[in-house]
């Protein structure tokens, strides 16, 4: 079956730009909030997503299972992250308008279990924002010409527009909007600048996708 990008597909320069727009003035649950194992470096570089959301959201709660990273952030004054396993979300006394599920789904062995847990924490007005690497990222296509594939050692799956749409829609969700974008970094070289300009036209080759998901 052919999948053509619909009118609800857009290009944005950075992932955080997308996420922060949705979090502005909202009650937000941030899953995997420490961004472990990069917590200390991202905090030092002012790239930690959680602290950016904190400046935008009306109310914010972060959950994570990495106690060391949580302790580090607490010492730095970030006091709205708790040690909590997302498998127990129904026990969390927090009803978010926005759920951030960033760079996590590709690490899971069974995505459907995670989606069933998330679904129980949502209502018809909740928006789930899922960001994940794009299978069609230009770098990955270039790598095939070198007879190689570079992947994170803990990634179990990689998604495209069609596969993430299928995954959620077969599990009782609907894809509201999908953004093609790039991760935020401290510095960008000329090559990265060129790729962003290229992907602004041919957005399907972007580094990252952000899916805005609602209940069906």
Supply the angle between the helices 161-169 and 111-120 in degrees, to the nearest 10. Answer: 60
Q: How far apart are CA 21 and CA 11, in angstroms?
A: 14
Q: Are 214 and 126 in contact (CB under 8 A)?
A: yes
User: Is 152 inside any structural domain?
Assistant: yes
Diameter of the chain measured on Cα atoms:
52
User: Is 129 inside any structural domain?
Assistant: yes
User: Is 186 inside any structural domain?
Assistant: yes
Domain CATH code at residue 123: 3.40.50.150
Q: How far apart are CA 212 and CA 31, in angstroms?
A: 15
For the CA atoms of 202, 150, 184, 126, what is the dihedral angle to 10 degrees? Answer: 80
Mean pLDDT of successive 10-residue stretches along the chain, which has 216 residues:
85 96 98 93 94 97 96 96 94 95 91 93 96 94 87 86 95 96 79 84 95 97
Tokens found for residue 3: 């999948």
Tokens found for residue 137: 């990222």
Residue-wise burial string across 8-18, b where 16 or more C-beta atoms lie within 10 A, e elsewhere: ebebbebbbeb
CB under 8 Å to 51, separation ≥6 — which residues? 43, 78
Number of separate domains in the chain: 1
pTM across the whole model: 0.93
User: Is 130 inside any structural domain?
Assistant: yes
User: Is 17 inside any structural domain?
Assistant: yes
**Residue 163 phi, psi (nearest 5):** -70, -35
pLDDT at 188: 65
Full residue range of the structural domain in which residue 34 is found: 9-215
């Amino acid at each position: 079956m052919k999948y053509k990008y619909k009118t609800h597909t857009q290009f944005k320069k950075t992932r955080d730009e997308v996420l922060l727009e949705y979090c502005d003035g909202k009650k937000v649950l941030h899953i995997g909030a420490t961004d472990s194992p990069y917590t200390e470096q991202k905090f030092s570089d002012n790239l930690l997503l959680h602290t950016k959301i904190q400046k935008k959201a009306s109310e914010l709660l972060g959950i994570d299972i990495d106690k060391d990273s949580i302790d580090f952030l607490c010492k730095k004054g970030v006091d709205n992250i708790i040690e909590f396993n997302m498998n127990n979300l129904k026990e969390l006394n927090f009803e978010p308008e926005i759920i951030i599920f960033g760079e996590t789904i590709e690490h899971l062995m069974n995505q459907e279990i995670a989606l069933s847990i998330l679904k129980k924490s949502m209502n018809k007005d909740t928006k789930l924002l899922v960001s994940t690497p794009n299978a069609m990222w230009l770098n990955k296509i270039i790598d095939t010409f070198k007879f190689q594939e570079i992947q994170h050692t803990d990634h179990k799956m990689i998604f495209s527009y069609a596969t993430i749409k299928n995954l959620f829609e077969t599990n009782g969700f609907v894809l509201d909007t999908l953004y093609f974008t790039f991760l935020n970094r401290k510095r960008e070289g000329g090559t990265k600048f060129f790729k962003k300009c290229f992907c602004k036209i041919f957005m399907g080759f972007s580094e990252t996708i952000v899916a805005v998901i609602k209940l069906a």
